[in-house]
A and B are shown apart, each in its own frame.
Chain A
Amino acid sequence: MSTTEALPQAYGRVIDPYSLGRDRRGDAGGGRIYVTGRGEGGPASRRVIVGFGFWIFLLSDIVMFSVFFAAHAVLQTETAGGPSGRELFNPSHIAIETACLLASSFTCGMAAVAIEARSQAWTQVSLLITGLLGLAFVVLEAGDFATMIREGAGPDRSAFLSSFFAVVGLHGLHVSAGLLWLGTMMAQVFVKGFRPDILHRLLCFNLFWHVLDIIWVALFTLVYLVGALR
């Protein structure tokens, strides 16, 4: 028996019976070319591996955030006689910050569309608007923090404020780091063009930015809106 006979006839085109969530619909048309990432077909494409790995990192980042959220939720009423959320939070500021971040998430999506169309100009414009909106958010938030600390409502005032500055500050740090990454990506796209490795980095940045907006949704709901009820 030769080695070629030992291989299944449909080698390279076979469907892995052990893979999760596969449906066999596509099989009838015979349209599939290759099985990637499940044994016979070799590993998945680099783009999928990079994206999935970064997604795992982002989920671990979300888990870290959830610990800060839990601490804040527990300490939200522990004001130690100091100011409460109702007295401190300015709803119009929170609304503007939310609008900035949501709009930047949208323009980041527009950048993804532009990247898919390989349009250098639209990619740069979309990323620039994304960055400016993100910068506006960070500046507004830093201004709010400075005002609170000046009025004696800094992180040392009460357990409520310690946990507030921890969770909101952690998100602010993420956005600031994202802005540095964004600037780097704009330069890389400009100099190196749409190379595969640059596209991988853009995909990861896109995911990172959208996840920051998702965390902000939890933040303005749990910390600001629920906090203002206390």
Chain B
Amino acid sequence: MNPLDTTFEQVIRWLHSTRSLSAAQAEQLLAADYVEPQTKTNVDRAWYVKLFIGISAWIAALFLISGVSSLAFIASGPVMTVAGLVLLGAALALKWARQRSIFWSQFAFALSLTGQGLFFGGFAQILFDTLQQPEEGAISQLALIVMATQILLFFIFPDTVHRLLSVIFASVAGIVLLVNELTNWALPSEQIDELLGALPPLLLMLFAVGLLWVWQSRTKFFASRWHELHAPLGYGLAIVMFGTALATLFFDDMLDINTRFLWLASVGLALLLAHLAMQVIDEFANQFTQPRLAKFSVLIAIGLLLIPLYNTAGVWAALLALVLGFRQNGHLLLGLATLFLLFFIGFYYYSLDITLLNKSYALIGSGVLLLLVRFTAGRFLGHSDHEMARHDISPNRGEVSA
């Protein structure tokens, strides 16, 4: 017998023995066995294969868009829009009809990107050239159409990488829409500037809340018919959140970010992290001798960290993603969060307005402090250093991918 069947059986029998399942339910499950048809293989699961699919589809789409849009009969906006819609429709039909075929799936992906490019390009031409709409109105209409199309495609185009792109495009279009609407709001210019300055930190908070919800609901997603939406939504929100955090760093002058709101974003993200930490401690409350003390210590640690990191929202966003990634077995999220954490910490020290010597003191002090915390926490929690040396930070859990 296949050992995998034995372990599935063991789990079901254990669930029955602990009265989580009735005898009839257990037998029914064992009879069905739930060996999934081999629709997902190692190739489908590997993130680098997905990246490869995405990049090659983009390259193909760039050639196709350049080629199709330079055809003489597609020069006008309306024709481009119709051609884009036709290609999008063809891509969808192809994707649904030939889901199992790798070649046709790849072709449908590239065709969809081409169709989107032509559709949005044509629509923009209609708005700006044919209808000669005022710029502010046209930008909002275009952003709205991009957002609506991407949301629709997210649900109806059954491909993880395509859906991930839809989340990113829809978010960017949403941001453009918000900025454009705020800019043209009938308010005094000082108030508009104030609102625009508050937007990046507030958006960062919004994406972080979304990220927290999606990843915390991972089990529910996987147990429902929406399971295939989790990975693109979860990773898409993480990319958009980190992108917004990067924008607050590099375009702070251009965006004229209101530092008051950046401070609020840091506090908000720290609160989300504290909320997550409290949930984790609650999960193991019966294993702590003093769970309240553990909670209090974590809150104090986060509060103390907020003092030097009050205007570095990126570090908090990365910490939140790191803890979420670890808790929910999101190995890729864990890797992404680690990279961004290192980047944001590096940037924090780089941008400190003090001499190199004082920076070195700050770095050495922070390093020693973290090692002391580790020493103390190690005694409090108890851990095997030998085990850590054998395994990585994230032992293999057989990550489930949508």
**A and B from one complex:** no
- Which residues of B are at the interface with A, using a C-beta cutoff of 8 A? none
